[in-house]
Chains A and B, each alone.
Chain A
Amino acid sequence: MCTTCGCGTSQTRINGKPMQPNQHSDKQLNYRSHKHSHAHEHNPVPAGTGHSSNTIHFGTGIADTHAPGMSQARMIKIERDILATNNRYADENRRYLSEHGIFALNLVSSPGSGKTTLLVKTIEMLRGKLPIAVIEGDQQTDHDAARIRATGIPAIQVNTGKGCHLDAHMIRHAIQQLPLQNNSLLFIENVGNLVCPSSFDLGEAHKVVILSVTEGEDKPLKYPDMFHAADLMLLNKCDLLPHLTFDVDLAIEYAHRIHPAIPVIQISAMQGNGMPEWVNWIMAGCRSVATTKQNLKQFDSTFD
């Protein structure tokens, strides 16, 4: 496992090749190295205490000193987010994407909600309007990337091995390998999992959660973290509603209990219902990112 961000490097594969943890700091742990600016002879010392057995040494603490009654143990304030390393990579990704006007969406859902079909159909509607690229996340196989590549769009497959989510470090590697164009659209299809991906910021503009009507209406209540983390909910497979007992209003009400302001678009990726609204939402996002980039350039030129 990658010891910088715990991303499971040993099993993580990008387009079938093992991910190299070469972007990490190569600093080694070096505990209290013994340095002197003065010359003196170093005598071999007994193993263990580092001192002869008839010496009681109180100065082994950090300051090489001792205060009566004080143990050498001390408290250190850390006050850091456990995911600080992931979040640092995510910030770097976000900065890169922003500087290049790339609108990135992180698609999250249970397995089988129709994410890949949704992507293929969305790509068919957007192809020719702007450059698109896709990062596919799955534990194993490159089936999904192959489905995307069949549409003529560049796709990179990240296999997480035993990992249950994509993290920002994997996305950084994938971004480096993808042919990404300025002012373009990047889809990241996360591992099918309605729990773990909610905690990991990848540097995306938005998480989009997909719920299909063949699942239960109460998924938002059962898996609240994801619905709280997402900025848009797509209710997919709505063409199947006549054959099901799924209560659309109840599902949306449950989603709003978890995330009061989350917009919901009802779609059928297979039949095309609702897809124009989804595509319009994407295009509005792409425009906002491109505009920001233009503004940044103007800002920069002001100070050149």
Chain B
Amino acid sequence: MHEMSLAENIIQLIEDAALEQQFTQVITVWLEIGQLACVEKESLRFYFDVVTQDGIARQSKLEIIEISGQALCNQCNQDILITAYHAACPHCGSYALQITQGNEMRIKELEVK
């Protein structure tokens, strides 16, 4: 449900950028969403379509770049890939992981004219 808020926030950031960088139309929006971020991508796409029915990002395309989840295992000190918070280290089985990447929810760039 909070994906609606996220979509509204995205539009606000785009409108701020439009003022600063003087563009009138958004063609494509690239987001970076981490695998561990608390966001349901399909829900975000749905609400993005809802909030872009009017305005500067009307009919713009949403591209989501997935950022892999990464962690450092505190037990065997190896960098590992994970897809969920409850993952265990594939090398030693420990759950003592320090998340190093995968929480991102960012607007990366826009194609505008």
* A contact residues vs B (CB 8 Å cutoff): 1-8, 27, 29-32, 61-62, 71-86, 163-165, 167, 195-196, 198-200, 220-221, 224-225, 227-228, 254, 256-260
Let me know if A199 and B38 touch, CB within 8 A: yes
Bound-state CA distance A144–B73 (Å) is 42
For residue A85, which residues in chain B have a CB less than 8 angstroms away from its CB? 9, 12-13
- Flag B17-28 by CB within 8 Å of A: 1 or 0 each: 111011110010
Residue of B nearest to A254 (CB): B86
Measured between beta carbons, the chain A residues less than 8 angstroms from B91 are: none
- Chain B binding surface, main DSSP class: mixed
Say whether B38 contacts A83, CB under 8 Å: no
What are some 30 contacts across the A-B interface (CB < 8 A)? A1-B4, A2-B8, A5-B5, A5-B12, A6-B7, A29-B19, A30-B19, A31-B22, A31-B56, A62-B23, A73-B111, A73-B113, A74-B112, A75-B109, A75-B110, A76-B109, A76-B112, A78-B109, A82-B106, A82-B107, A83-B9, A85-B12, A85-B13, A195-B38, A199-B39, A199-B105, A224-B85, A257-B95, A260-B74, A260-B95
Complex CA gap A228/B103 in Å reads 11
- Report A-chain residues with C-beta under 8 Å of the C-beta of B113: 61-62, 71-74
Interfacial chain B residues near A78, Cβ < 8 Å: 13-14, 17, 106-110
Set of chain B residues within 8 Å of A195, measured between Cβ atoms? 1-2, 38
A29 touches B31 (CB 8 A): no
- Asked whether, in the complex, the Cβ of B2 is within 8 Å of the Cβ of A164, the reply is yes
Q: Is the CB of A73 within 8 A of B112?
A: yes
Which residues from B are CB-within-8-Å of A164? 1-2
A76-B9 contact given A31-B22, A258-B85, A260-B96, CB 8 Å threshold: no
Q: B6 interface residue, CB < 8 Å from A?
A: yes
CA distance A96 to B108 in the complex (A): 31
**B24 and A80 contacting across the interface, CB-CB below 8 Å:** no
Chain B: which residue is nearest A253 at the CB level?
B95
> Which chain A residue has the least Cβ–Cβ distance from B39?
A199
Q: A31-B22, A32-B22 are in contact. Are A82 and B110 (CB under 8 A)?
A: no
Chain A neighbourhood of B96, CB < 8 A? 260
Cβ of B15 under 8 Å from chain A: yes
Bound Cα distance A227, B105 (Å): 19
Smallest distance from the beta carbon of A217 to chain B beta carbons, Å? 13
Q: Are A7 and B5 in contact (CB under 8 A)?
A: yes
- Collect the chain B residues with CB atoms within 8 Å of residue A259's CB: 85
What are the 6 tightest A-B residue pairs by CB atom distance, in nearest-first order?
Answer: A6-B8, A224-B85, A196-B2, A6-B5, A225-B38, A257-B95
Contact B18 A80 (CB under 8 A): no
Closest chain-A Cβ to B29's Cβ sits at a distance in Å of 9
Residue with the highest number of chain A CB atoms closer than 10 Å, among B1, B2, B111:
B2
Contact code string B75-106 (vs A, CB < 8 Å = 1, else 0): 00000000011101000000111010000011
